[in-house]
Amino acid sequence: MREATHSRRATAALQALTEQDPALAALSLWCRHRDDDATELVATCGTEIRYGTEFAALPQHLQIGLTGHHILHVAFQHPARMRAMQDRLGAEFDPELWQIACDAIVNQTILAAGHALPRPCVTLETLLGQSSSRALAAWDAERLYFRLYSFGGPGRGPLKAKARAAGFRPDLSPGDGVEAEGAGPDDGDWRGHLARAMALGRTAGLGMGALTGRLGDLPRPKVPWEMILRRWMARASLRHPGPAHLQPARRWLALAGHAAIRDRPLPPWQPDLNAPLPRPRLLIAIDASGSIPRPVLARFFSETASAVRRMRTACRLVVFDTEIRHELILDPADWRRTLSALHLPEGGGTDFRPVFALASELAPSGVIVLTDLDGPLPSVAPRLPVLWASARVDPPTPSFGQVICLAQ
C-alpha cells in the first residue's frame, strides 16, 4: 500500500508556483501529491498526482511546468470526464485519443501562461494549426476528442503517431471514482475553486492570471446530446387525443340535460376526444453532402434505435442532398445492416425544402435532420417538431426547430 504522505519530489516546484503562478498554486491545494516509484515521470490518477523517479532529475523550470500540467488535469476534471466518456461510449471509446486531446489543451494553456515543458510536446497548434488564443477559447476536451475521432480508424493511426513524435506519453488515468480520503470535491466545488483561483491570478497578473482569452475547457454543466435527443423524441412522440366532432363530451351532455330540465338554451357544443393514434411516427433525414462523419452517424443511430424500440415508434429514413435520394422504413432491430448497406453520396449541395415537402405529406410526429445546416430552408416553418443534429462545433441557428451539437 502506498504511503499517504505529501510528495517530497514536488515540494520545490509547488513552492515556486506560489510566486510564479498564484492561480496554479491555489488549485494545487485541492490536489493530492504523492511520490510513486512505479511512475516514470508524472501521472494523474483521479485527483491524485504521482511523481516518479525521473521527475526529481529535471531542472526546476520543467518541474514547475509539468506540475502545472497535472494540476490542470485535475482542475479541469479530465479523469472524471474520462470515466463519463467511457460509460457513454462503451467499447467505442479510445482512451489514448482522449489523453491526446486533454494533453493538447493543457499543454497549450501551460505554454500560454509562460511556463516551460519538456520539448517536444503535443499542443492544439500541433494538432490543428490554430493560434493559442483562438484554440484555447474554442475547444474543450469532448469537442476535440470527437473532432479527432471523426478522422476515422485509418486516419487516427497517423494522428497518434504524430502525437507520439511530438512527445505525447500517456499520463492520465480515470481512477476508480472513489477518493482515498473522503468524497473529494464535486463538479460545483471545482468550478468554484477555478473561479477563485483565476480571480487571484488576474489580481497578481502572473501565470494563468495573465491569460487574456477565455478557456473553453473550464468545467461547466453539460447535457449530453444523447439525453437531449431522448427528451425531444419523447415529447415529439407523445400521443395526443384529438376531437371527435360528431360525439358529444360527457360534460356537454350533463349541461344539456340540466338546461332541458330548466327549459334553457343548449350550451355551446363540446366534442368528445378520440383515443390517440396507436403509433407515432418519426422522419429522420440524412444530409448526403458528407457533413456527418460515419462514427458519429453510427452513434446517433444506436441511440435513436434504442429510443424507437422503447417508445414503439415507426421511423422513416430519407437520404437527401438537393433532392431525396433514398427513402425506406428503418427497422430498430436491424439498423446496423441498413446503415452499412446505405449508399451516402458525398459532395454536392444541400436543399432542405424537399425533405419538409415530404414531411408535410407524411405528417410525422417529428422530423430529425442530420446536417451541417448549410442550405436553403422552406419559407414557411413546418407545424411540427424539428430537431437539427449537426456535427459542427458551433452550428448555426436556423429560423425554426431545436439544434443539438453531436461534437460534444
Query: CA-CA distance, 127 to 392, in Å (whole number)?
Result: 18
Distance CA 363, CA 359 (A): 6
Closest CA to 73 of 195, 190, 205, 203: 190
Quick: pLDDT tens for 118-174.
988 899 888 887 766 677 888 888 888 888 887 766 667 888 888 888 888 888 888
Q: What percentage of residues in the chain have a pLDDT greater than 70?
A: 84
User: Where are the extended beta strands (E) located within 52-175?
Assistant: 172-173
* Residue pLDDT, tens place only, 230-278: 888 778 777 666 677 778 888 888 888 888 888 888 888 888 877 655 5
- Model confidence over 303-345: pLDDT tens digits? 677 777 776 677 888 888 888 888 888 777 777 777 777 776 6
The percent of residues in the chain predicted with pLDDT above 90, rounded, is 21
Q: At what angle do helices 78-89 and 95-112 cross, to 10 degrees?
A: 150
Cell numbers describing residue 377? 430552408
276-293 pLDDT, tens digit per residue, is 555 568 888 888 776 666
| Model confidence at 403: pLDDT above 80 | yes
pLDDT at site 69: 94
Compute the C-alpha angle 402/287/145, nearest 5°.
Answer: 75
Taking residue 153's Cβ as centre, other Cβ atoms within 10 Å add up to: 10
Q: What is the pLDDT of residue 396?
A: 81
Domains in the chain, start-ordered, CATH in brackets?
11-219 (no CATH), 243-273 (no CATH), 281-405 (3.40.50.410)
- The band of 180, judged by pLDDT with boundaries at 50, 70 and 90, is very low
Closest CA to 16 of 50, 54, 51, 66: 66
pLDDT at 183: 45
Q: Are 24 and 207 in contact (CB under 8 A)?
A: yes
**Average predicted confidence (pLDDT) for the chain:** 82
Residue 131 has a pLDDT of 67
Q: Which of 16-30, 275-289, 378-392 has the lowest mean pLDDT?
A: 275-289
Q: Could you read off the pLDDT of 24-76 as tens digits, one per residue? A: 999 999 999 999 998 889 999 988 999 999 998 999 999 999 999 999 999 99
Angle at 407 between CA 402 and CA 408, to 5 degrees: 90
Q: Which H, E and C letters describe 66-85, residue by residue?
A: HHHHHHHHHHCCHHHHHHHH
197-218: average pLDDT: 82
Give residue 232's pLDDT.
84
pLDDT score for 150: 74
Rounded to 5 degrees, φ, ψ at 373 are: 60, 35
C-alpha cell at 287: 444530409
Q: How many CA atoms lie within 13 A of 281 on its CB side?
A: 12
Q: How confident is the model at residue 2 (pLDDT cuts 50, 70, 90)?
A: very low
Give the pLDDT of residue 291.
Answer: 61
